[in-house]
Amino acid sequence: MRKILIIITIALGCNAIFAQDPHFSQFRMTPLLMNPARTGLGLDMRAQASYRQQWKSVASPFTSAAFSFDMNATRKKKRKADLGVGLQFLNDKAGDAKVGMNQGNLNLSGILNLGPSSKLGLGLMGGFGQRSVDYTALRWENQYQGGTYNSGIASGENLSSNSFTYFDAGTGICYSYGKDQGYMTQNASTRFTIGASAFHFGLPVSSFQGVSSERLNTKFVGHASMEIGKRNTNLTFIPEIVYVRQNSQQEIIVGNVFRYLLVEGSHFTGFVQSTAISLGVNYRVKDALITTVILEYAQYCIGFSYDINMSPLTTSSKSRGGFEVALRFVTPNPFSKSFAPRI
């Protein structure tokens, strides 16, 4: 059993290092992580924070945190193009060995105003990061005598550096269309976003042993979402899809968010703010069912999600996956007609 646990811990840790980046089930709340072209796209200013914990029922929990701030730095009426700027910080820690990542990114985007309702973003991302691991937290087979663990016995493993730094980069393109038709309660607006991005390009070295040939494969991301209002009701359907591929590994998320407008804000006094609640059901193919609750009040938003594990790991996880919470503040007010993409 000890050997099995050691193998699982190392395998999960290596997967976090070499196979995938930190990812969040509430991907709509981490737009810069998904595509740098979304920096400042269709808004004035946005600040977001996300925290995720998973696999607590299997081993030491994996935790991921992200914070981003972006804005349209040059937004003025009747401009043909604008400049978006943003900052992003990521933290990830996995397993007993506390395999960690800290990374800071700078995002820049050019935003082409194709018309009163259409925008095209072209984005670049550059950043520096650090990977680390705590070897002292691991237990090795050589350290067991007669079934008893003895930390004073040498592991016999050839362990090198416990940290390294790296440079990372990414690019992307994103198109958004947002047009309001009539008053809010008519619910006749049409909005959608579609984009693609790529990251790493083999730039970051991914080896604690200093092997320069071990680098992260290029990660490709495709995403699309749409708002479909049920006319003359308070209900809006938001179908969405995300596709991620990195070497031979891929992730597909499909689903829908149901938004219901609880309170319509006052149009003139501003004393009453618009309030909405959303329920989301998404499926990460061959992995988990994602359930989400989102509360929106004027420019503020908070989202809670939980992954119900449906992979072969359910034998150990008993279907318990990961909990996630996300916060967002954005200007202008997402319920106003001046706001293009809400997702």
Find out whether 121 and 39 touch, Cβ atoms under 8 Å. yes
**How many residues appear in the chain?**
343
pTM of the complete model: 0.84
Does residue 332 have a cis peptide bond before it, meaning omega lies within 30 degrees of 0? yes
Interatomic CA distance for residues 78 and 80, integer angstroms: 6
Question: Taking Cα atoms as reference points, which of 263, 262, 258, 255 lies closest to residue 288?
Answer: 255
pLDDT per residue as tens digits for the range 252-302: 999 999 999 999 877 666 678 899 999 999 999 988 999 999 999 999 999
The structural domain count of the chain equals: 1
Tokens coding 102: 């800290």
Name which of 192-201, 223-232, 304-313, 325-334 the model is least confident about: 304-313
Interatomic CA distance for residues 180 and 169, integer angstroms: 36
Name which of 24-33, 126-135, 210-219, 247-256 the model is least confident about: 210-219
129 assigned to some structural domain: yes
Long-range contacts of 145-150 (CB under 8 A, 24+ apart): 149/2
193 assigned to some structural domain: yes
Residue 163: domain span: 2-331
77 assigned to some structural domain: yes
339 assigned to some structural domain: no
248 assigned to some structural domain: yes
Bigger pLDDT: 276 vs 178: 276
14 assigned to some structural domain: yes
CA 105 to chain centre: 14
CATH number at residue 327: 2.40.160.40
Confidence tier at 178 by pLDDT (50, 70, 90): confident
Interatomic CA distance for residues 265 and 275, integer angstroms: 8
Interatomic CA distance for residues 161 and 339, integer angstroms: 49
Longest dimension (CA), the chain: 78
CB-neighbour burial class of residue 202 (10 A; exposed 0-12, middle 13-18, buried 19+): exposed
55 assigned to some structural domain: yes
- Per-range mean pLDDT, top range of 9-13, 221-225, 287-291, 311-315: 221-225
342 assigned to some structural domain: no
Confidence tier at 341 by pLDDT (50, 70, 90): low
